[in-house]
Structure 1
Amino acid sequence: MLRGLYTATAGMMTQQRRHDTVTQNIANINTTGYKQVESIARSFPEVMVALRSGDEGRDNRNVGKLNTGVFAEESISMMVQGDITETQSSDDLALISDIQVANPQGGNVMFDASGKAVLANGQTVYKPQAFFNVENPEGGISYTRDGDLNLAADGRLVTSMNQNVLGQDGQPIILAGSMDDYWVRENGTIFNKVTGAASGRIGVTIAEQPNGLTRDGEGLFTEKTQGAGALRAATDADQFEVKQGYLERSTVDAAQSMVDLTAALRAYEANQKIVQFYDKSLEKAVNEVGRVN
């Protein structure tokens, strides 16, 4: 009896995790460059159920396999291109990434809406993505799609969370005046509108395995394990574009998020009913079945 109680409890915990993930997505529906997060769940390992002394001459007889519960394994970010919206502000930069991957069978790999593809040999590949280079609070390099930038009082080009935007040389970008005095080329090079001189180039990194990056808060992604993201510096040959006066919107689908939120709530309630049923059954077994008249 307790096996079912534990299974229902595991289901409640998983649906709570799913509910929290969807709530996080909805809260960031207007966050620039935010990547929707999906909660991945899987069942506990199957166990073999056997009936002891079931057959003549045998100690037990196999009844079949049984899953003993489910758990939220991880939460992954959907690394896909978000919609681009025009702001007409010189401070805003959108990063458009459409990097192709050659298919061993010929042509380019065709990715699905989640940025994933399965090749003919069974190999799973993910579409590479471009990221702006920024300085994280620890002084290292992190990556973001948040192009809501501005110039600090000391001339540093910073994100909306006051993180230094790094140039191609790995150093913070320092500009004089305001961003209205500059225009940014498609490859990230910043030019002074008056003198026409280059004032730096925004550092852009290509993550060949974007799902290998870890969400680090404040719109940042970090490569926690060396080589997990297969990072490399972007070149002019890569299919990416920096657009000034535009921002990349969140990839959260509001309608689908509300459906997922309701589904998680209903599944939680169903598991809750099962727990209540077992609770009443145990109460009856303790208080009535075992009663001695």
Structure 2
Amino acid sequence: MLRGLYTAAAGMITQQRRHDTATQNIANLNTTGYKQVDSVSHAFPDVLIAAMQNGTTKNIGRLNTGVFAEQSVSQFLQGDLIESGKTVDFALSTDLQIVDPATNMPMIFDGSGKHISAEGEVTYKPQAFFTVQDNEGNKLFTRNGKFSVSPTGEVLSVGGFKVLDGNGQPLMLNGPEDRLKVDGQGYLIDNNTGQRSNSKIGISVVTKPMDLVRDGNGVFHVEDPEAAQIRFTDANDNMQVRQGYLENSNVDATQVTVDMNAAFRAYEANQKVIQYYDSSLQKAVNEVGRV
């Protein structure tokens, strides 16, 4: 009986975390560059059930002992681009590819940005990010291109982080921000000559985006950049910088609302189970025990 009580309690905790994840997504529905988070649940290890009779053991089957919310997975799909008209607002439009070594052709990714090989190996679609730097010199990655310019000419992100250039150094402007012009690859255009300069916005390609760790404020970091295979973009990448645009959140409001309601109903169901066990234990102690 107590095993069922613990199983229902584990279900309540899991559904609470699932509900919290859905409400977080809804709260950031209009947050620039926000990436939807999905809660992944897994079952506890199964328990082998056996019966003993006349000195012999007979296997009956396996029993699942509960569920737990193992992790939260970010969805890095492209969000809608919204025109702002501001020269210091930027958005990335990307469709990065990986060559499948088995076929020597570009991998085909599903709607969630995932490719599963014939052997069951999962590969996620590479993603591009603006590269920024915090006060400790750590590299961070964001899709929020709502930038500003400090009085000294430094380009800053929303959180006050320094935006890096293509060489990994803080991006500096030599003139007023209203004259800032960037081409589709992120290179700054010289206002006097109209030619592309050598300075560009630092845009990093994260080949394994699932290695990114969410820090809040719309930025991510990587524990092992080499394992995540991070590099700056080049001319071969199918990527375009859109000046005067911002990338909206990629949250699917309809699906997230359905998930939130489903988590709430499942939470209620597990709560009813706990109430049933509580009533049964009360009878066992107060009535059966009295006899």
Shorter-chain TM-score tier = over 0.9
Asked if residue 271 in structure 1 is aligned to residue 273 in structure 2, the reply is no
Alignment of 1:101-140 (within 5 A): 101-103=98-100, 104-140=102-138
Structure 1 unaligned segments of length 5 or more: list them.
none
Asked if residue 185 in structure 1 is aligned to residue 183 in structure 2, the reply is yes
Alignment of 1:1-293 (within 5 A): 1-53=1-53, 58-103=55-100, 104-196=102-194, 198=197, 200-292=199-291
Q: Which moved more, 1:173-182 or 1:282-291?
A: 173-182
How many angstroms does 1:206 deviate by? 0.7
SS of alignment partner, residue 125 of structure 1: strand
User: CA-to-partner distance for each residue in 1:66-117, whole Å, 9 max, x for gaps?
Assistant: 1000000000100111111211111110011111111222432111111001
How many angstroms does 1:226 deviate by? 4.4
How many angstroms does 1:193 deviate by? 2.5
Relative distance call for 1:228 and 1:27 in structure 2 (3 A) is farther
SS of alignment partner, residue 161 of structure 1: coil
SS of alignment partner, residue 240 of structure 2: strand
How many Å separate the matches in 1 of 2:175 and 2:251? Answer: 35
How many Å separate the matches in 2 of 1:226 and 1:181? Answer: 35
How many Å separate the matches in 1 of 2:161 and 2:104? Answer: 42
How many Å separate the matches in 1 of 2:207 and 2:268? Answer: 41
How many Å separate the matches in 1 of 2:129 and 2:121? Answer: 25
Q: Which moved more, 1:274-283 or 1:100-109?
A: 100-109
How many Å separate the matches in 1 of 2:3 and 2:31? Answer: 43
User: Could you tell me whether the CA contact under 8 Å between 2:133 and 2:164 is conserved in 1?
Assistant: yes
How many Å separate the matches in 2 of 1:42 and 1:229? Answer: 25
SS of alignment partner, residue 224 of structure 2: coil
Structure 2 counterpart of 1:89, which letter? K
User: Could you tell me whether the CA contact under 8 Å between 2:132 and 2:162 is conserved in 1?
Assistant: yes
How many Å separate the matches in 2 of 1:203 and 1:277? Answer: 59
Structure 2 counterpart of 1:67, which letter? N
Structure 2 counterpart of 1:278, which letter? Y
User: Could you tell me whether the CA contact under 8 Å between 1:133 and 1:166 is conserved in 2?
Assistant: yes
SS of alignment partner, residue 226 of structure 2: coil
Structure 1 counterpart of 2:168, which letter? G
How many angstroms does 1:216 deviate by? 1.2
Relative distance call for 1:21 and 1:137 in structure 2 (3 A) is farther
How many Å separate the matches in 2 of 1:263 and 1:214? Answer: 27
How many angstroms does 1:122 deviate by? 2.2
User: CA-to-partner distance for each residue in 1:118-151, whole Å, 9 max, x for gaps?
Assistant: 1123221111011111012432111111111111
Structure 2 counterpart of 1:272, which letter? Q
How many Å separate the matches in 1 of 2:108 and 2:133? Answer: 34
How many Å separate the matches in 2 of 1:29 and 1:219? Answer: 13
User: Could you tell me whether the CA contact under 8 Å between 1:126 and 1:210 is conserved in 2?
Assistant: yes
Over the matched positions of the two proteins, sequence identity in percent amounts to: 49
How many Å separate the matches in 2 of 1:138 and 1:10? Answer: 40
Provide the alpha-carbon RMSD of the alignment.
Answer: 1.5
How many Å separate the matches in 2 of 1:138 and 1:281? Answer: 58
User: Could you tell me whether the CA contact under 8 Å between 1:181 and 1:192 is conserved in 2?
Assistant: no
Q: How many residues align?
A: 289
TM-score, normalised by the number of residues in structure 2: 0.95
TM-score, normalised by the number of residues in structure 1: 0.94
